[in-house]
Amino acid sequence: MTAEQPYSTNNTGMPNMLTDNELLQHYYVCNTKQEETGKELNSAIMKLEELLNTLQEKISILDNPSKQQLHQLTQAVTNMAPSVHAIGACTAQQQAVILKFSNLTELCISRIGELSQSLSGLHKSFNELRQSSNELHQSLNELHQSLNELHQSLNEPLEVLALHQSCVATRDKLLRQVAGDRKHIWKKLSLIKSIHRLDSMLSLRGHGVSDDDLSYFANRWANLRKKLGIEVDSMTLQGFIDIFTAEGNRVAHERFTFTPDELKEFAKKVDDDADEAYACIIGIGEQLSIIRGESLYSCDREKYVPIS
């Protein structure tokens, strides 16, 4: 219901359709007119009271009224007629206003009833809305709880995935490090194996190797062993044999063999004078090949025969 909604009236003399504002305007006009007619009625009644008082005074002094006195009395009564007519007119107007007030009051009562009914419906709708709001709030709380559980369940695999990725990265890093270390170790073992042979060769005095050559090669390989972290005094041939067993040597020779270019490249990494270190390797290899009939390295990895 809106403030400007029209209403129909029955037997009131008012327009059939009135808005709330029009109804209030009519009520205001009726109230003003009632005040005006009330003032007129009061004035007419007061004037009639004066005439009645005058008539009563004249009647009270009459004992045996003369013809003139009767005429004056009749004239006084005649003079009262306009006032009586005015009172009647004012009374009729007052009755019309009262009827209009009554009709407006009925309209107001009807309007209030409709408003009350609308308010009751609105109150009922508000209660239903509040109940729905409470249910929605409860549903939102349940949804929030479900979202928290879902977020937690989503975080768990993410944490596991992050941990897995971290483990994989660490594993790959370790595998790369181990692969690099393994390659370096096997190359180092192969070079150390050559050192074994050179150490053995140092004991070949009287077999065609001069003391000067042995001394020169021994000094060069001593320096080379120091660069490899092998102490000359503490690490003897027997110490090498104890650390690297026959099985270890066999695996080392099967896994890694070196061509002259590889030996030269590796010598660059362990000795400042790469050419001289390479000459030592080749020279002693040739010495060993002559004396023992052995080969220090093989260019053909497929057909490599380990040094016995």
Neighbours of 237 (CB within 10 A): 15
Tokens of residue 99, six digits: 């009827």
What are the structural domain ranges in the chain? 20-136, 202-292
User: What is the reported pLDDT for 304?
Assistant: 32
User: What is the reported pLDDT for 251?
Assistant: 37
Measured CA to CA, the distance from residue 260 to residue 283 in angstroms comes to 12
Measured CA to CA, the distance from residue 286 to residue 292 in angstroms comes to 10
List the chain residues with pLDDT less than 70.
1-18, 20, 23, 27, 55, 58-65, 69-70, 80, 164, 167, 171, 174-308
Three-state SS letters, 274-303: HHHHHHHHHHHHHHHHHHHCCCCCCCCCCC
Residue type, 254: E
Note the Cα 165 to chain centre separation in Å: 26
Q: Which CATH architecture has domain 20-136?
A: Orthogonal Bundle (1.10)
Tell me the torsion sign for CA atoms 62, 68, 71, 75.
Answer: negative
Choose among 6, 246, 253: nearest CA to 107. 6
**Burial of 52 from C-beta contacts in 10 A (0-12 / 13-18 / 19+):** middle
Contact (Cβ atoms closer than 8 angstroms) between residue 224 and residue 277: yes
User: What is the reported pLDDT for 227?
Assistant: 58
